[in-house]
C-alpha cells in the first residue's frame, strides 16, 4: 500500500511501538489510520496481541528491551521507535536507535540520562522527540503559544501557574479521596513523596514531600462547578529557562485534586502507610491478617478496636478540627483499614495499601474520567496594562472509547510520530519548547482531533 509522507508517494513507513499501557491504543490506532505499519512489542506476547487485535497493519512480538541484540534487530527494521515503557528504559531504546540510526519518540520528560546521549544522537543524525503527551506535552504547546504572543508584542509574563489533574468525572467521584486509578496506585502515592521546588514572588521555595498535602489549597479555576485543590509538583524552576520567561517572579506547576483529598492523604502519610519497609506480618501468606490487625501493628496500637486505632492515629496526626477528623476517620473506615477483611499482603505498608486501593477504587464499566488542565498567566503589556489570562482544557473520557487521559497522551504522541516520519522535525534531542516545534503540533491537534485549550481573559 502506497502512502503519502512529506508530499511524496512512498512505501509504507514502519514503526516499533514499545509498551502495553493504556495510552498505547490511541497512538497505535492513529498510526494505523495513517498507513504506518506498526510492530507492537511487549515483554509478554499476549499483551502485544491484545493491543493489535482488530487494528490494521499491525503485528505483535515479545521483546525485552534489556536484550541489546534483540532490541537492535527490531529497531533496525523500522523508521521510528516509540517508547511508551517506563522512563528508566528509554536510554536502552535511544542507544539502540543511535546504533541503528532510527528516530525515537517518547512522552516522558527529557532525563539526565538522555541528555548524556545528546552528542551521540546528533552524531547519528537522528531525532529523539520527548515530552509530547499531556503533561508534559499539550501543556507546553499552549504555554509557549501565549508566552511567544506576549513577548512578540513587547509584553512580559510576570507570573505563570500551571495545574493539571487526571480525575474521575464528578459523577464517578463518590469515594473519600475523590479519585480512581487507571494506572498504578503506587506511582500516584510515591509521586506525593517528591520535593516540590518553585519560584514565588521572586523567591525560591521548597516543600518536602511529606509536607506537600499541608500546602494544598483550594484553587479557583473560574469554573465554579469544580471544587479543586492544588499543590506544587516536582521542580518548576527549570521552566524559567525552558519557557524563556526570565522576567517571571512566580512559576509554579502542580497537580489538581478534588477537595478532601489532601486531608486524607496527609493522615495516611503520618500513619506510616507510605513506608516501603518490609514487615513479616505483611508478607504473602495463606492466612493473611485482617486489615484492623495490620493497621494496629503498623500504628503500634494497643489493640485492633476502632477506638484504639483512632486514638493511635490521633497520636501521630494532628487534625485541624473535629469536622476534618470525622471526614478522615470516615475515609479510613471506607478504605477498610478498621475492618475484619483480609489484607492483600504485599510485604510493605505502601504496597499492601495499594493492592486494596486498586481493588476498591478502579473505574467501573461506563464510568468516565476527567482531565482538567489550566495555565494562568499574569501579563504586563508593553503599554503598562496588566491582564490575567487562562488557557483551559476540560476533557471527559468516552466509556465506549478512550479515556480522556489515554486520548490526551496517546494522540499527541501519534501526531508527533507522523511529523517525525514526514521529516518536519529537525534532528537532535528535542522537546516542545519553541514555536517552531509547538505550532505545527498544536495546529494538527486542534484542526484534526479537536484537542485545544480555551483562552480567556479574567475580568
Report the distance separating Cα 53 and Cα 48, nearest Å. Answer: 9
Gyration radius of the chain over CA positions: 24
Q: Which three cell numbers stand for residue 228?
A: 479543586
* Residue 9, φ and ψ in degrees, nearest 5: -75, 125
Report the distance separating Cα 349 and Cα 74, nearest Å. Answer: 40
Q: Which three cell numbers stand for residue 137?
A: 506535552
Report the distance separating Cα 232 and Cα 209, nearest Å. Answer: 10
Q: Among the options 103, 135, 139, 369, which is catalytic? A: 135
Q: Where are the beta strands (DSSP E) in 208-340?
A: 217-218, 228-232, 250-258
In this structure, are residues 326 and 334 in contact, taking their beta carbons and an 8 Å threshold?
A: no
Report the distance separating Cα 294 and Cα 297, nearest Å. Answer: 5
443 is catalytic: no
- For the CA atoms of 43, 45, 48, 53, what is the dihedral angle to 10 degrees? -170
Question: Element (H or E) spanning 406, and its range?
Answer: helix 404-421
Report the distance separating Cα 428 and Cα 92, nearest Å. Answer: 17
Report the distance separating Cα 380 and Cα 375, nearest Å. Answer: 16
Report the distance separating Cα 38 and Cα 55, nearest Å. Answer: 10
Question: Element (H or E) spanning 189, and its range?
Answer: helix 185-191
Helices (H), 22-173: 24-33, 45-52, 68-75, 90-100, 112-115, 118-124, 138-152
Compute how many other C-beta atoms are within 10 angstroms of the C-beta atom of residue 177.
22
Residues in the chain: 459
Q: Which three cell numbers stand for residue 302?
A: 494497643
The residue among 25, 40, 30 whose CA lies nearest residue 78 is 40
Compute how many other C-beta atoms are within 10 angstroms of the C-beta atom of residue 3.
15
* Residue 129, φ and ψ in degrees, nearest 5: -100, 120
Annotated catalytic residues are 135
Amino acid at each position: 500500500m502506497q502512502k503519502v509522507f512529506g508530499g511524496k508517494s512512498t512505501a509504507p513507513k514502519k514503526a516499533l511501538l514499545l509498551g502495553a499501557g493504556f495510552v498505547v491504543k490511541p497512538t497505535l490506532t492513529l498510526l494505523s489510520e495513517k498507513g504506518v505499519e506498526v510492530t507492537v512489542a511487549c515483554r509478554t506476547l499476549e499483551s502485544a496481541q491484545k493491543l493489535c487485535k482488530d487494528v490494521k497493519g499491525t503485528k505483535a512480538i515479545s521483546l525485552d528491551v534489556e536484550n541489546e541484540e534483540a532490541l537492535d534487530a527490531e529497531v533496525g527494521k523500522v523508521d521510528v521507535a516509540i517508547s511508551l515503557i517506563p522512563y528508566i528504559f528509554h536510554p536502552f531504546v535511544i542507544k539502540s536507535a543511535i546504533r541503528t540510526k532510527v528516530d525515537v519518540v517518547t512522552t516522558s520528560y527529557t532525563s539526565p540520562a538522555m541528555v548524556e546521549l545528546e552528542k551521540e544522537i546528533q552524531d547519528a543524525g537522528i531525532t529523539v522527540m520527548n515530552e509530547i503527551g499531556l503533561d508534559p506535552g499539550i501543556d507546553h504547546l499552549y504555554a509557549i503559544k501565549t508566552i511567544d504572543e506576549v513577548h512578540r508584542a513587547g509584553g512580559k509574563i510576570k507570573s505563570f501557574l500551571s495545574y493539571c489533574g487526571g480525575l474521575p468525572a464528578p459523577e464517578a467521584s463518590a469515594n473519600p479521596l475523590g479519585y480512581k486509578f487507571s494506572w498504578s496506585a503506587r506511582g500516584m502515592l510515591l509521586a506525593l513523596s517528591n520535593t516540590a521546588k518553585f519560584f514565588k514572588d521572586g523567591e525560591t521555595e521548597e516543600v518536602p514531600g511529606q509536607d506537600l498535602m499541608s500546602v494544598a489549597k483550594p484553587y479557583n479555576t473560574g469554573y465554579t462547578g469544580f471544587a479543586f485543590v492544588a499543590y506544587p509538583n516536582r521542580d518548576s524552576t527549570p521552566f524559567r529557562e525552558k519557557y524563556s520567561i526570565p522576567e517571571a517572579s512566580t512559576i509554579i506547576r502542580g497537580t489538581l485534586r478534588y477537595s478532601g483529598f489532601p486531608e486524607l492523604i496527609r493522615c495516611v502519610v503520618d500513619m506510616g502507610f507510605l513506608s516501603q519497609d518490609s514487615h513479616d506480618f505483611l508478607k504473602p501468606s495463606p492466612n493473611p491478617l485482617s486489615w484492623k490487625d495490620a493497621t494496629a501493628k503498623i500504628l503500634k496500637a494497643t489493640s485492633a478496636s476502632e477506638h484504639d486505632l483512632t486514638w493511635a492515629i490521633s497520636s501521630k496526626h494532628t487534625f485541624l478540627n473535629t469536622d476534618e477528623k470525622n471526614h478522615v476517620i470516615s475515609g479510613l473506615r471506607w478504605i477498610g483499614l478498621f475492618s475484619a477483611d483480609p489484607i492483600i499482603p504485599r510485604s510493605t505498608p505502601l504496597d499492601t495499601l495499594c493492592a486494596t486501593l486498586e481493588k476498591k477504587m478502579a473505574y467501573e464499566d461506563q464510568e468516565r474520567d476527567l482531565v482538567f488542565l489550566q495555565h494562568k498567566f499574569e501579563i504586563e503589556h508593553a503599554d503598562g496594562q496588566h491582564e490575567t489570562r487562562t488557557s483551559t482544557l476540560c476533557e471527559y473520557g468516552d466509556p465506549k472509547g478512550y479515556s480522556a487521559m489515554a486520548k490526551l497522551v496517546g494522540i499527541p504522541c501519534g501526531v508527533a510520530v507522523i511529523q517525525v516520519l514526514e521529516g518536519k522535525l529537525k534532528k537532535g534531542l528535542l522537546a516542545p519548547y519553541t514555536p517552531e516545534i509547538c505550532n505545527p503540533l498544536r495546529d494538527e491537534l486542534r484542526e484534526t482531533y479537536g484537542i485545544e485549550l480555551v483562552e480567556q481573559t479574567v475580568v
